[in-house]
């Protein structure tokens, strides 16, 4: 069956193609009687406009690209859900791209999104030095960063949480419980959130007059499996820490699993605090104390800001830093007396 075109609709309505196009674009410069006739013919043939073809003409296709580093991480899943829900209310679609933390994959996705003529790109994947971000910037496509920043964030639109304050709040809470041997289980050291959370960790220790002991700094990668592996080593240390601040919730849950495997009671023998407040953290069998960064809201706000900028052709940078919130559950307690 032949696909009906704008030309077919124009011919049957005895109007020009440009008139049909104006109806499609909700232009006010069309008589109501003509608009009604065109819409009736579209309905008659169940006409659906070719969005890609319209995008090539208008240089917009009604879609955003979203680039994340690990879609299996609940942080990114929740973030994308927030972006997607907002896009739906604006009538926009999403192209979701997963990099697995690889710069070459990110560059590939950026080039693909530019070729598809997406209206804008939301990055939730960037590293401190990021070639993919630079390539997108050079293309002139509108960009917004969410959850992460590059080394030089000047000029970019972004929505982030105050990661340093969040790290400070987490460690300060452990100190208030009486902990002095506080470890840090990091994320990748080439990511901005990890660096800022570590700065908060250091500041809290320094203000409390506690030294930063290198043997209590552990290099993770934000994943559960790596944290479990590191956790078994932490728990077997002769002079092990009494508490661990984990750079994200997945790392904290991996450490919790190691504690269960080795029979270390949480929080009686080991206190654990995370960062993110993913839904899994509030499960009854986990009840993780953590720092919330309102992930869904960050995504929804990021989507709203970029879409409104596109609609209003606003090029002035919008840069928002949201406050974190300490969520106290059941994985932290005063250290066990020796």
Class of domain 6-49: mainly alpha
CB atoms closer than 10 angstroms to residue 261: 12
Number of helices and strands (H, E) in the chain?
12, 12
Q: Are 198 and 184 in contact (CB under 8 A)?
A: yes
State residue 203's pLDDT score.
98
- Comparing 129 with 265, the larger pLDDT belongs to 265
State residue 49's pLDDT score.
64
Kindly report, residue by residue over 134-188, the tens digit of the pLDDT.
Answer: 889 888 899 999 999 998 877 899 999 999 999 999 999 999 999 999 999 999 9
Architecture of domain 59-161+295-322: 3-Layer(aba) Sandwich (3.40)
Confidence band (pLDDT; 50, 70, 90) for 215? very high
Half-sphere exposure of 128 (CA within 13 A, CB side): 10
Q: Are 161 and 309 in contact (CB under 8 A)?
A: no
Question: In sequence order, what are the beta bridge partners of 290?
Answer: 327
Q: Which residues are CB-contacts of 104 (< 8 A; sequence separation ≥ 6)?
A: none
Mean pLDDT estimate for the chain:
91
State residue 50's pLDDT score.
57
Model-level pTM?
A: 0.81
DSSP string, 250-278: HHHHHHHHHHHHHT--TTTT-EEE-SB--
SS3 69: coil
State residue 52's pLDDT score.
47
CB atoms closer than 10 angstroms to residue 267: 22
Q: Which residues are CB-contacts of 136 (< 8 A; sequence separation ≥ 6)?
A: 110, 113, 114, 121, 123, 143
Which residues of the chain are in CATH 3.40.50.2300 domains? 59-161+295-322, 163-293
Question: In sequence order, what are the beta bridge partners of 160?
Answer: 321
Q: Are 63 and 92 in contact (CB under 8 A)?
A: yes
Dist CA 199 CA 202 (whole Å):
5
Kindly report, residue by residue over 235-260, the tens digit of the pLDDT.
Answer: 999 999 999 999 999 999 999 999 99
Q: Are 298 and 161 in contact (CB under 8 A)?
A: yes
CATH code for the domain defined by 163-293: 3.40.50.2300
- Comparing 56-65, 86-95, 104-113, 260-269, the range with the smallest average pLDDT is 56-65
Q: Provide mean pLDDT across the span 93-104.
A: 92
Q: Is residue 89 classed exposed, middle or buried when 0-12, 13-18 and 19+ CB atoms within 10 A define those classes?
A: exposed
- Comparing 7 with 208, the larger pLDDT belongs to 208
Q: How many degrees, rounded to 5, is the angle at CA 104 between CA 100 and CA 110?
A: 90
Is pLDDT at 200 greater than 80 in this prediction? yes
């Amino acid at each position: 069956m032949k696909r009906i075109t704008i030309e077919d609709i124009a011919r049957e309505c005895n109007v020009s193609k440009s008139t049909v196009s104006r109806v499609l674009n909700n232009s006010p410069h069309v008589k109501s009687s003509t608009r009604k006739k065109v819409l009736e013919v579209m309905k008659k043939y169940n006409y659906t406009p070719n969005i890609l073809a319209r995008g090539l003409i208008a240089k917009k296709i009604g879609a955003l690209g979203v680039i994340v580093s690990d879609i299996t991480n609940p942080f990114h899943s929740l973030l994308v859900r927030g972006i997607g829900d907002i896009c739906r209310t604006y009538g926009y679609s999403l192209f979701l791209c997963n990099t697995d933390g690889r710069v070459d994959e990110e560059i590939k996705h950026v080039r693909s999104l530019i070729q598809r003529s997406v209206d804008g790109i939301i990055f939730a994947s960037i590293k401190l030095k990021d070639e993919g971000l630079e390539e997108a910037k050079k293309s002139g496509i509108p960009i917004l960063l969410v959850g992460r920043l590059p080394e030089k964030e000047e000029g970019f639109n972004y929505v982030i949480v105050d990661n340093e304050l969040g790290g400070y709040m987490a460690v300060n809470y452990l100190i208030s419980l009486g902990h002095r041997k506080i470890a840090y289980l990091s994320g990748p050291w080439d990511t901005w959130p990890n660096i800022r959370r570590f700065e908060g960790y250091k500041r809290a220790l320094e203000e409390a007059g506690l030294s930063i002991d290198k043997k209590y700094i552990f290099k993770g990668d934000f994943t559960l499996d790596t944290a479990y592996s590191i956790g078994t080593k932490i728990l077997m240390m002769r002079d092990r820490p009494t508490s661990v601040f984990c750079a994200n919730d997945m790392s904290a849950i991996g450490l919790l699993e190691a504690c269960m495997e080795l029979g270390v009671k949480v929080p009686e023998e080991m206190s654990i605090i995370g960062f993110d407040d993913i839904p899994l953290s509030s499960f009854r069998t986990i009840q993780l104390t953590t720092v919330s960064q309102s992930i869904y809201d960050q995504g929804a706000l990021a989507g709203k800001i970029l879409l409104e900028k596109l609609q209003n052709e606003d090029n002035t940078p919008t840069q928002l830093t949201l406050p974190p919130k300490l969520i106290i559950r059941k994985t932290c307690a005063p250290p066990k007396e020796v």
